[in-house]
Structure 1
């Protein structure tokens, strides 16, 4: 387990370093499979006729906080028929409360309000939000009853979502955060793409590739 965590943390450092690089995005014809993006061994396609982009992330990850503005750009530019999904991942026990917070916020209908706010609280304001109870206090500031938040975060439904997320993280071959998955088939990150802007450009290119394939 320790070896795996060290490997995962090394992946996080790689994402950070490559994300800071300032180099031009490759032309669309220059993206290389196995170098810039990877085809999953066990694809997890969405429903027939659908195209989906998933960001695998954690609120605990500072690189995810830095990547969020680029994610917002991607969401705004995606064609209407393409859906965007967030998937929190748990690399170690300290990350689990944040995954529970995501699913609870989603269930309570406050995710649009809480998503950026939680990133800001953790990485800009450095608030000590490490437990479900502390996170309940944070959500209380957003108008959510703290007790309702805690009970939702610890519910059977959220437990099932966590288990499903663990299965998908394995199928998606997740090694670091943030990672983008396009249509349950392709995996990429800022490191493989050559930077954060390049990662968004590559994701859009893969989306276009899938949309064209769906029309055939």
Structure 2
């Protein structure tokens, strides 16, 4: 049988749209709980969203990097996550359409193992002003060109720094920056935010530190984000 690559890509993309990368192997889902007769389902909130279905309220939630007059949208992501790679161009297109009061913040998931070298690399690249020119390129290097090790293999810091060496950085300096005290402190901050937000998979979007989005597809996720942003804008 002859496979058609275009159709195969679309099929894979469809599967990615309905799932995410977890920091631990997925567990078997419990059987759905039946709602007793006469018990009302959760009521839709303003914007047509249903708490517990479309988003989770984060108790005492605070933005990751608050700015006066800004509505923060955090993406918790990982470069090794194929779902994040699939979502990245959609998120960029969404970002381009936002009003000036929306602040998109990227937070790399420091889950350990194969996640860790790339989480360190994100912060090193950010400090060196290289994120904008390398963000999409690193996804492509991993998931399209397969130029770097992907899970379950773990890329070395030297391999990751070598990629940035091809994109304007001094590779040795970049590797040193990856392992600096400043980057280590930022990873601790990332981990603390993920813990208090309940984010344990990627990509996860969090609006103003208050709402963790539950989307059934990338499009659904962005629909929910738009509604939550509108809610926060009205409340400001």
With the length of structure 1 as denominator, give the TM-score of the two structures: 0.83
Return 5+ residue gaps in structure 2 as ranges.
1-21, 30-45, 150-154
SS in 1 for 2:202: coil
Structure with the greater relative contact order (CA < 8 A, sep ≥ 6): 1 or 2?
1
Residue 90 (structure 1) shift = 2.1
The answer to whether the aligner puts 1:78 opposite 2:98 as a matched pair is: yes
* 1:17 counterpart residue number: none
Task: Name the structure with the higher helix share.
Answer: 1
Structure 1 residues 99-151: Cα deviation after superposition (integer angstroms, max 9, x where no partner):
00100110000100110000000001112341110011111111210011011
* 2:231 counterpart residue number: 209
Distance 2:26 2:119 in 1: 17
Q: Aligned residue pairs: how many?
A: 192
In the alignment, which of 197, 201, 208 is matched to residue 219 of structure 2?
197
Partners of 1:9 and 1:176 within 8 A in 2: no
Specify whether residues 8 and 75 from structure 1 end up closer, same or farther in structure 2 by C-alpha distance, changes over 3 A only. farther
Q: Between Structure 1 and Structure 2, whose CA radius of gyration is higher?
A: 2
* 1:170 counterpart residue number: 195
Structure 1 residues 6-45: Cα deviation after superposition (integer angstroms, max 9, x where no partner):
455879xxxxxxxxxxxxxxxx843211111111123013
With the length of structure 2 as denominator, give the TM-score of the two structures: 0.76
Residue 79 (structure 1) shift = 1.1
Return 5+ residue gaps in structure 1 as ranges.
12-27
Residue 166 (structure 1) shift = 0.6
In the alignment, which of 44, 47, 58 is matched to residue 40 of structure 1?
58
Provide the alpha-carbon RMSD of the alignment: 2.0
Matches within 5 A, 1:112-151: 112-129=132-149, 130-151=155-176
Specify whether residues 10 and 211 from structure 1 end up closer, same or farther in structure 2 by C-alpha distance, changes over 3 A only. farther
Specify whether residues 144 and 10 from structure 1 end up closer, same or farther in structure 2 by C-alpha distance, changes over 3 A only. farther
Partners of 1:54 and 1:180 within 8 A in 2: yes
